[in-house]
Amino acid sequence: MNKNPDISNLQPFKKGQSGNPKGRPKLPDLKAAVAKILAEEKDGKTALDAILAALRAKAAKGDVRAAQELMDRGYGRASQQIDHTTQGEKITPQITVLYSGDASELNRV
């Protein structure tokens, strides 16, 4: 394997010339592609309906993850309260103003 590729035909870009004149290639609209696939019908049933029915069947058999997915999609995720700074203590806001001018001017603010 040749570790030194032939670079004899490479030239620097001219000033003001883009190295990628066509730009980044456009990606297909993923949301539209997924919607199209889920809307496909087979035996009078959409793919989305088939997926939801399969999830429902798994949930009915005791699959907690399938049940959680259905509940989260249908009703939204359960909110969780997180306290990672105060250990349950009440937060008292404090404001410190640093000002080197005349203190009487602060009363106007």
Identify the three-state secondary structure at position 73: helix
pLDDT tens for residues 2-56? Answer: 577 777 777 777 788 777 888 888 898 999 999 999 999 999 999 999 999 999 9
| Neighbour-count burial for 67-100, b at 16+ CB within 10 Å, e otherwise | beeeeeeeeeeeeeeeeeeeeeeeeeeeeeeeee
Structure token pair of residue 49: 């309906």
- Whether the full predicted model's pTM is greater than 0.75, yes or no, is no
The predicted model gives 72-100 an average pLDDT of 80
pLDDT tens for residues 51-85? Answer: 999 999 999 999 999 999 999 999 998 888 777 77
Q: Where are the domains of the chain?
A: 45-78
